[in-house]
Amino acid sequence: MPCYNSGEYLKTAVDSVFAQTFKDWEMIVVDDGSTDNSLAILNDYQGRLKLLRQTNQGAGTARNLGMRQATGEYLAFLDSDDFWFPWALETLAAAIAESRAEIAAGEVVRFRENNLPDPKQHESKPRWHVYKNPLEAARRGGHWLYLPITMAIRRQTAFAVGGFAEGRINGEDTHLVLKLGTANKCCIIESPLLAGYRQHENNSIHSLSRGYAGMIFQLDQEQKGNYPGTGRDKLARWGILTKHSRSLSIGCLKSGQQAQAWRIFFRTLGYNIVLGRIKYLLAFPVVSLLNLGKFTRKTL
């Protein structure tokens, strides 16, 4: 669990780990240079978790530090503003035991601020499906690829591809999934939902600058051929990249960052043409003109 100034939500996240019905785990929290009361909260759990500290370097660096200290066969990830349902680890462990997959993951329920969902409303019989690799799962609609808080990855497999991208960027988790794209066996848990994803104004996903930096990093990796997979796997990889890039480019336009938006558009143009994203290709210039006019009027 990476933690940076998460005092408002941290206790809920940590307590959800201790509430797990599956008990064979160790918890490692990496404080990423917090300046709020996060450390005071974590000190209340002294002896029950392993606390590491680093200067502020980003979630990817924090996760990699935690991974190096982990001793388990599989790694599971939880962000400090989210939480696991009590059955999350038990379900992941059962799916892995049956499938022997390198990666297992499930879905989340999204909620606003402190409106925590009631676990009783999300209990259901475990059900999962095994795919040959993560990219095949992505082709079948694996939305789990965009949120690591429901993922468990074999530790040696994660290290073999270099772990998370480091630096103050978004998309470090997507980069890891793309590096793991052809890893042997991927188990997608269809039910029950495993975690709660908290939506609030301080979500790192709202940072366009970090999102842009992460997107350019991933596109550079794709261009250099650093992501595995050919044929249909390559198309699935392009699908993942363009899903993120489309929403990010529109977000840049709406915030007045025309240059960044058009750079993303041109960098992904070929992928979107091959994938037949005609609606986006036609709408992007229109949205650009509308927002260019809006910001021009504001300047005048």
State pLDDT tens for residues 84-101: 999 999 999 999 999 999
Q: In this predicted structure, what is the pLDDT of residue 145?
A: 55
Q: What is the arithmetic mean of pLDDT over 111-136?
A: 90
Asked if residue 164 lies in contact with residue 68, where contact means CB atoms within 8 angstroms, the answer is no
* 22-71 tens-digit pLDDT: 999 999 999 999 999 999 999 999 999 999 999 999 999 999 999 999 99
Q: What is the arithmetic mean of pLDDT over 276-298?
A: 85
Helix (H, G, I), strand (E, B) or coil at 111: strand
Q: Cβ contacts of residue 243 below 8 Å, gap of 6+?
A: 146
> Has residue 143 got a pLDDT over 80?
no
- In the chain, domain spans: 2-205, 207-299
Nearest alpha-carbon partner for 134 in 75, 178, 95: 178
Asked if residue 227 lies in contact with residue 221, where contact means CB atoms within 8 angstroms, the answer is yes
> Has residue 297 got a pLDDT over 50?
no
Asked if residue 145 lies in contact with residue 173, where contact means CB atoms within 8 angstroms, the answer is no
User: What is the reported pTM?
Assistant: 0.89
> Has residue 204 got a pLDDT over 70?
no
The two beta strands, 108-112 and 195-199, are: parallel
pLDDT interval class at 299 (50, 70, 90): very low
Average pLDDT, the chain: 92
- In the chain, where do the E strands start and end? 2-3, 28-31, 50-53, 74-76, 83-84, 103-105, 108-112, 127-131, 152-154, 186-191, 195-199
Tell me which CATH code domain 2-205 carries: 3.90.550.10
What is the largest distance, in Å, between two alpha-carbon atoms of the chain?
64
